[in-house]
């Protein structure tokens, strides 16, 4: 495992040293003057980037709006099973899913697999939320983050909850609340140091996991599932991966800022997240928080696409429909 991890890191560095070192391009710098706008298929974010988004809605004026934030190498289409369930059985709930900066449908192709600063994710989400709230001023808004998306929604709220552009409730699906305890600490340190020296070096998730096959549902492994997606990113930069690592390690601290209803869903066979870590995270939530945990012992990481998907989306709809006033 260790040899595989180190090989992945140093192969990434080997590729990187042939790329001229450069400061972040102007398009990655936050431009507060950019005009934000919600179009029919795209929204203009804080820096002028036009991100695609998908909307599933039965009614023009829904009572509740879920904003989905997808995981690493994912896309808004990952929320289709939840959207289909809502359209068929809960027409009062709409779902919006935006594509994430640095992922496979980022319109800036050279930025795919990389992030300059995590605050860019936060600003994208709060910008999108403000535009959706303007579109549906009477609706309650719920952020639903899956995997990496759970880190984004959690830390966005903790960092920017006083901005006014936040949610009324939160769903964390397959949250990665800490780096797994079976991951060697010295490897974490080596990756952080390497990421500092070579932030744009790229490695695959498989090389970091040390596993040849990473099972994400009962019937699929990560490599097989990813190969079917045109938006899959084979390698991410160490800057992005170390940013996520630091967000994982500070998740419990960020959770202390929560003061809204929260639903946590996770599987017992999730290779990326130890169920014990998720329970520890949940148990440590502030007492004032209306919190619910749904645990699926036989499910894997991609809950929306696993064998218990129908139960997962039903549990979400039930919880959303019973939110306290």
Give pLDDT, residue 251: 97
d(CA 227, CA 234): 9
Nearest to 130 by CA among 121, 141, 146, 118: 141
Give pLDDT, residue 46: 97
Read off the pLDDT of each residue in 176-199 and give the average, rounded to a whole number.
80
Q: How long, in residues, is the chain?
A: 325
From residue 139, give the alpha-carbon distance in Å to each of 55, 95, 115, 135, 211. Answer: 15, 12, 31, 9, 44
Q: pLDDT tens across 10-26, in order?
A: 444 443 433 333 334 43
Where is pLDDT greater, at 106 or 234? 106
d(CA 249, CA 176): 9
Share of the chain above pLDDT 70, in %: 84
Can you read off the two tokens belonging to residue 61?
Answer: 């004026």
Q: pLDDT tens across 66-80, in order?
A: 999 999 999 999 999
Read off the pLDDT of each residue in 42-68 and give the average, rounded to a whole number.
97
Pick the CATH number of 33-181+244-321 from 3.40.50.2300, 3.40.50.10320, 3.40.50.20, 3.40.50.1820: 3.40.50.1820
Q: pLDDT tens across 268-280, in order?
A: 999 899 999 999 9
CB 9 within 8 A of CB 207: yes
Sole residue written with tokens 């096959």: 213
What does the domain layout of the chain look like in residue ranges? 33-181+244-321
Read off the pLDDT of each residue in 178-185 and give the average, rounded to a whole number.
74
Entry pTM: 0.87
């Amino acid at each position: 495992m260790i040899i595989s991890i180190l090989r992945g890191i140093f192969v990434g560095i080997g590729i990187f040293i042939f790329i001229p070192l450069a400061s972040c391009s102007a398009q990655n710098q936050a431009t507060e003057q950019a005009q934000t706008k919600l179009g029919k298929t795209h929204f203009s974010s804080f820096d002028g980037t036009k991100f695609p988004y998908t909307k599933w809605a039965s009614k023009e004026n829904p009572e509740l709006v879920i904003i989905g934030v997808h995981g690493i190498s994912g896309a808004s289409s990952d929320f289709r099973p939840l959207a289909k369930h809502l359209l068929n059985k809960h027409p009062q709930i709409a779902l919006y899913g935006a594509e994430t900066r640095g992922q496979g449908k980022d319109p800036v192709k050279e930025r795919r697999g990389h992030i300059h600063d995590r605050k860019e994710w936060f600003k994208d989400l709060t910008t999108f939320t403000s535009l959706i709230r303007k579109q549906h001023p009477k609706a309650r808004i719920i952020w639903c983050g899956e995997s990496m998306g759970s880190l984004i929604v959690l830390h966005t709220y903790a960092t920017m909850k006083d901005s006014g552009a936040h949610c009324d409730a939160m769903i964390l699906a397959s949250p990665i609340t800490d780096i797994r305890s079976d991951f060697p600490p010295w490897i974490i340190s080596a990756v952080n140091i390497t990421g500092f020296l070579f932030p744009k070096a790229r490695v695959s998730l498989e090389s970091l996991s040390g596993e040849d096959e990473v099972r994400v549902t009962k019937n699929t492994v990560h490599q097989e599932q990813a190969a079917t997606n045109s938006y899959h990113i084979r390698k991410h930069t160490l800057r992005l991966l170390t940013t996520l690592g630091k967000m994982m390690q500070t998740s419990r601290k960020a959770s202390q800022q929560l003061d809204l209803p929260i639903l946590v869903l996770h599987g017992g066979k999730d290779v990326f997240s130890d169920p014990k870590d998720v329970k520890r995270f949940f148990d440590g939530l502030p007492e004032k928080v209306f919190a619910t945990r749904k645990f699926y012992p036989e499910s894997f990481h991609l809950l929306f696409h696993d064998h218990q998907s129908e139960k997962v989306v039903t549990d979400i709809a039930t919880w959303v429909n019973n939110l306290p006033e």
